[in-house]
A = this chain, B = another copy of it.
Amino acid sequence: MEVFSQEFSVSTRKQMEIIDVTRGVENAVASSGIKEGLCIIHTPHATAAIIVNEGEEGLIYDITKKIEALFPVAEEYRHNRVDDNAHAHLASAFLGSSKVFPIKNSRILRGTWQNILLVELDGPRTRRVVVTVVGER
């Protein structure tokens, strides 16, 4: 059994943005040499999230709009007395900052439309994405 970890950064350009990081994650898993096991994709930030879904342009727009509808920027939040990004913290808390997948035959076991998406909620910023793989070579 082995543990392998690799990270990469993503520079976001907007306040809110969804970026497909599937290729970076798959490169890290390939570099691990691990054939069977588990993999976590984690972003160590309280105003970003990792979700899994199709990267189709229209859907990315729909996800963005749904997040804005459920966690509106303009609501009255107590956290905004000390900062101005409560909506981003709330969306991160609900969506989660990591996702876990099985590794099978040296690849992430994911469905055809299951892309790995970094959700920027308080950009633009540079965001870290950490990929940690545990399993058998």
Contacts and interface: CB of A to CB of B under 8 A. Distances in A.
Interface of A: 1-3, 5, 36-38, 40, 42-47, 51-54, 56-59, 61-63, 66, 70-71, 77-83, 86, 89-90, 92-104, 109-114, 117, 130, 132, 134-136
A30 to B, nearest CB: 18
A45 B77 contact: no
Contacts of A56: 79, 82-83
Interface of A (DSSP majority class): mixed
B42 A59 contact: no
B52 A111 contact: no
Contact of A3 (B3, B36, B82): B36
Contacts of A54: 46, 79, 89
Nearest to A98: B100
Given A40-B102, A102-B130, A66 B71 contact: yes
A122 to B, nearest CB: 11
A90 B78 contact: no
A94 B93 contact: no
Given A45-B114, A54-B46, A114-B44, A132 B102 contact: yes
B96 A46 contact: no
